[in-house]
Amino acid sequence: MDTRRLLRTTGIVIAAAGLLLSGCTSGGSDVASASAEPTPAPAALRPYYEQKLTWRDCGVPGFQCSTMKAPLDYANPGSGQDVDIAVARREATGPGKRLGSLLVNPGGPGGSGIGYLQAYAGIGYPAAVRAQYDMVSFDPRGVARSSPVECLTGQGMDRFTQVDQTPDDAAERDALVASFKELAAACQVRSGRVLPHVSTVEAARDMDVLRAVLGDEKLNYVGASYGTFLGATYADLFPARVGRLVLDGAMDPTRPALELNRDQTEGFETAFRSFAKDCAKQPECPLGRGNPDAVGQNLKDFFRKLDAQPVSSGDPNRPLGESLATTGVIAALYDESAWPQLRTALTDAMNGDGSGLLALADSYYERDADGTYANLMFANAAVNCLDLPPAFKGPEGVQSALPSFEKASPVFGAGLAWASLNCTYWPVKATGEARPLTAKGAAPIVVVGTTRDPATPYKWAKALAGQLDSGTLLTYDGDGHTAYGRGSECIDTAINRYLLQGQPPAPGKRC
């Protein structure tokens, strides 16, 4: 299980039958927050801002693709050390007045914006929005098609995902630490050039270059999950260039890594208890018909059995042990529509067939049937470990924090605490720090929070809306991760009105 602050939309997690947890903050930058007055790009950056994109067929009907250049290091642009930023669009379908580009981001960090655009946003966003906006996305630096971070081989990732993340003794603890060190070393060897330059601040600056080359005076943007942090960072850097920004499933940039991980642990407990209540109402709940505490204890007992004796998964090299099973359960908690799938997978696993939970875990990790992995987990670690100092200095810190994590979630607390050790061994020192993002002087920004969101707790949305100088909180009283486009007519109507007419929801609106 590797669920450190991996944050992305539910459509990517389950439909691609794939994201989850690692820390984020404002990242290091040589540029302080911009004033409310737009300023021209510095002379050294003008070649990037003035470049022309050449669009080509993507191979997916209706979509065009291009490649944008950005400086590897914004402190030293024009040095010849550039990164390639992959971009895709679907042009506005009309009729009606064209409103420019709408940039969308599915979260992560590490989620492919292009994959999200082609699989969902470019065809699944409301027709009225697609009619008036060019739907645009990009793979942020270090992700997928954009100078990707590469680390372990497929076989190496298979081993990494099976390491016991609830160590019972010194030997298991040492094995876990060794796995984090192996990942970090592999990333340094294969991606040392880009590792120091994949922060959220740098991705946000790339977004401003993209805004310019698309010909837009202001940035219109919908960011989900981690994408809210990316969008808020952009707004803080370039408040005068903010158009219509929707931040759905929001993060709180003031939280240091330890608090982010513990908050998210509590969020998954909240989501699990909602699942447990629903499961107990079903004719055949594999975890019993008791209250959520009893159901949770039954799941925890099952995980212990798998820790001692994994069950067959259909893949002889990857039996279903505790780590993969836990990841599979967490993946399904992102979206309540996956609860029936989770009940079936748990029932089968308890009867000796772990293939269902393994499939959920594979979707989470973006592992293909041929054993190859997308670079999701590598980019996730690279961005998060650069954005925030690590949660812990070593295993002793985890041991001390275990009681608080287990209080936050009796079921998932221990595993998520130990998973938070990852950035401790990262080869590049963090450049960011936890701090508020205010975007002083920006146009109205809509922040969306779901009350029982597993990955981005509702209190984060309230916090971000309060920090932003022009933030407006829109609340969805419900389950699952993020809210826009997930079945709430109230939420969708409010966001569509904002995107199409520029009218934000009334303060305090709940759906």
Catalytic residues: 225, 453, 481
Spatial neighbors of 453 by CB under 8 A, at least 6 apart, are 249, 267, 271, 480, 481, 482
What is the CB-side half-sphere exposure of residue 221 using CA atoms within 13 A? 35
- Please report the sign of the dihedral spanned by the C-alpha atoms of residue 172, residue 357, residue 483, residue 87: positive
CA gap 442, 282 in Å, rounded: 48
Two tokens at 27?
Answer: 């990242």
In angstroms, the CA 27 to CA 433 distance is 6
Residues 6+ away with beta carbon under 8 Å from 309: none
- The answer to whether the CB of 364 falls within 8 A of the CB of 331 is yes
Distance from C-alpha of 384 to C-alpha of 126, rounded to nearest angstrom: 32
d(CA 396, CA 399): 5
Task: Round to whole Å and give the CA distance between 408 and 401.
Answer: 11
Distance CA 136, CA 300 (A): 43
User: Distance (Å, rounded) from C-alpha 478 to C-alpha 499?
Assistant: 23
| Dist CA 114 CA 79 (whole Å) | 28
How far apart CA 194 and CA 149 sit, in angstroms, is 7
What is the rounded distance in angstroms from the CA atom of residue 220 to the CA atom of residue 103? 6
CA distance 91 to 136: 8
- DSSP, res 241: G
